[in-house]
Chain A
Amino acid sequence: MNPEKDERRPAGELEAAVLAALWAADAPLTPAQVQVELAAGLARTTVTTILSRLYEKGTLERQRQGRGYAYRPIEDPHGLTALRMHSELARDSDRETVLSRFVAQLSPDDEQVLRRLLEEGP
């Protein structure tokens, strides 16, 4: 993806990408680190703007780090167990739902085939 294209993406998509990067990192990130993590050719100022917007919405918390801030997603301490149960419940009725899941469950054969496909090629 080239830089110009990325700068022109809708603000919502950029917010999603930034939040996903922060959750994946599992440690507070500075705007510079988010920029590197995304590898998406976004300007530093754009990343900073998105981070402060998410902070104002209450999605992120931040702490002072050097001259700026490091951001991380606000975790939900009470919801974790209940949500885990929910998502397991939802997975059980996998085949009978209108929700389009990214990946269906695998059979042992599927697992073999996928590992082979991933190993093939460069």
Chain B
Amino acid sequence: MTLVALLIPLLLPWAALVPARRILDRCPPVAALWTLTLSALLLAAGTIAALGTLALTGLLEIPALAALAELVRPLRTPSTALVPPLAAAAAGLLALAALTLGRSVVRQAAGLRTARHQAGRRAPAGDLCVVESPHPDAYALPGRPHRIVVTTAMLRSLDAREREALFAHERAHNTGGHHYFLAVAELAAHCHPALRTVREVIRLAAERAADEAAATAVGDRRLTAHAIARAALAAHTADASRPAVTPAATTGPVPKRVTALLSPAPRTPRALTWLAAPLAACALLSCTTAATAALHVHQDIEIAQGETGS
């Protein structure tokens, strides 16, 4: 029973993919961003709790460790033949997650340091840092104060009003604290393979939220759509020698954003509840089953430690 309960949090992220993929088509992006990120966090927590509990049950089968944990009788496990391989796999997956997460943190820190160094080379004008580069590129640089970094090539690819849309987009990332959402998405992606897909959806949701904020700020959805499309094409032409990272068969995030801006503003609160509910249910179910199972194992350990409860 406990074993099955521990498998449920490991399977739920795949089930959550179905509502997660569709949520952006119907919902306002800010609501989608919150729902997706909180769900990803809960699903990741459920996964880690389940893997941890599985690994622990296996470790306590080892006599030396059982003695260390002051077990006076063997732990009650449903099937002794099944527990050791499962526990070993769980421990392996946990170690793998920790390893890739650690590597990602190091890489992210280095990336941020490079970006800060690049931005700090000259006095900014307001929040704008201009970087001289032939590659059209722009990004939000969170910090105190928040800054936006834009290359000279990007400034030259756009006209004055399109540049305002770009600045409004990057400022929306900073004021919306989108880097926190992206960090959670990154963390979750290292806990479960299905959450890697959710990470991409969260990234798209953050871009969509900033796009809508930019469209509101400049008061023109079509102008914002054109700014994004022209910036992407300019960057693409400048980087033509580079092989495309996205498989050609799929439509990447940029056309989706442009198409969304060329359609009317999203405003369907009813659809939000219908799509958010299954996602939130998956996330909550994952956490509760993992917690219940962990609690059961904890009780079993106490019994094995000789406490009178049976």
Chain A contacts to B: CB under 8 angstroms: 1, 10-21, 23-24, 26, 37-40, 54, 57-59, 73-76, 79-80, 83-84, 86-91, 93-111, 113-115, 117-118, 121
B254's partner among A39, A84, A88, A114 (CB-CB below 8 A) is A114
Most buried by B among A19, A59, A106, A117: A106
A94 touches B170 (CB 8 A): no
B138 touches A105 (CB 8 A): no
Q: Which residues of B contact A76 (CB under 8 A)?
A: 121-122, 132
Residues 117-138 of B contacting A (Cβ, < 8 Å):
117-118, 121-123, 125-128, 130-135, 137-138
A105 touches B128 (CB 8 A): no
Chain B's nearest CB lies how many Å from the CB of A59? 5
Chain B's nearest CB lies how many Å from the CB of A9? 10
Q: Which residues of B contact A14 (CB under 8 A)?
A: 126
Closest to B136 in A: A103
Chain B's nearest CB lies how many Å from the CB of A100? 4
A96 touches B108 (CB 8 A): yes
A17 touches B163 (CB 8 A): yes
A96 touches B258 (CB 8 A): no
Q: A105-B235, A106-B244 are in contact. Are A117 and B135 (CB under 8 A)?
A: no
Question: Is B79 close to A, CB under 8 A?
Answer: no
**Size bracket, chain B contacts:** 35 or more
Chain B contacts to A: CB under 8 angstroms: 104, 107-108, 111-112, 114-115, 117-118, 121-123, 125-128, 130-135, 137-142, 148, 150-152, 154-156, 158, 160-161, 163-164, 166-167, 169-170, 173, 178-179, 182-183, 186, 206-207, 210, 218-219, 222, 225-226, 228-233, 235-236, 239, 242, 244-255, 258-259, 262
B251 touches A109 (CB 8 A): yes
B156 touches A26 (CB 8 A): yes
B118's partner among A10, A86, A106, A117 (CB-CB below 8 A) is A86
Q: Which residues of A contact B107 (CB under 8 A)?
A: 93, 96-97
* Chain B interface main SS type: helix
A106 touches B160 (CB 8 A): no
A101 touches B139 (CB 8 A): yes
Q: Which residues of B contact A59 (CB under 8 A)?
A: 122-123, 125
Q: Which residues of A contact B229 (CB under 8 A)?
A: 114, 117-118
A93 touches B111 (CB 8 A): yes
B160's partner among A39, A95, A96 (CB-CB below 8 A) is A39
Closest to A94 in B: B245
B160 touches A13 (CB 8 A): no
Q: A24-B156, A97-B111 are in contact. Are A110 and B125 (CB under 8 A)?
A: no
Q: A58-B123, A100-B140, A110-B254 are in contact. Are A79 and B132 (CB under 8 A)?
A: yes
Give complex CA distance A86, B115 in Å: 8
Give complex CA distance A70, B285 in Å: 65
B108 touches A97 (CB 8 A): yes
Give complex CA distance A21, B125 in Å: 12
Chain A's nearest CB lies how many Å from the CB of B251? 6
Closest to B218 in A: A1
Closest to A115 in B: B233
14 A-B pairs (CB sep. < 8 Å): A20-B130, A20-B155, A87-B133, A87-B135, A90-B111, A90-B115, A97-B111, A101-B137, A101-B138, A102-B154, A110-B252, A110-B254, A115-B233, A117-B225
B169's partner among A54, A84, A102 (CB-CB below 8 A) is A102
A91 touches B179 (CB 8 A): no
Most buried by B among A1, A38, A99: A99
B131's partner among A11, A87, A106 (CB-CB below 8 A) is A87
Chain B's nearest CB lies how many Å from the CB of A11? 7
Give complex CA distance A74, B152 in Å: 12
Q: Which residues of B contact A89 (CB under 8 A)?
A: 114
Give complex CA distance A57, B126 in Å: 11
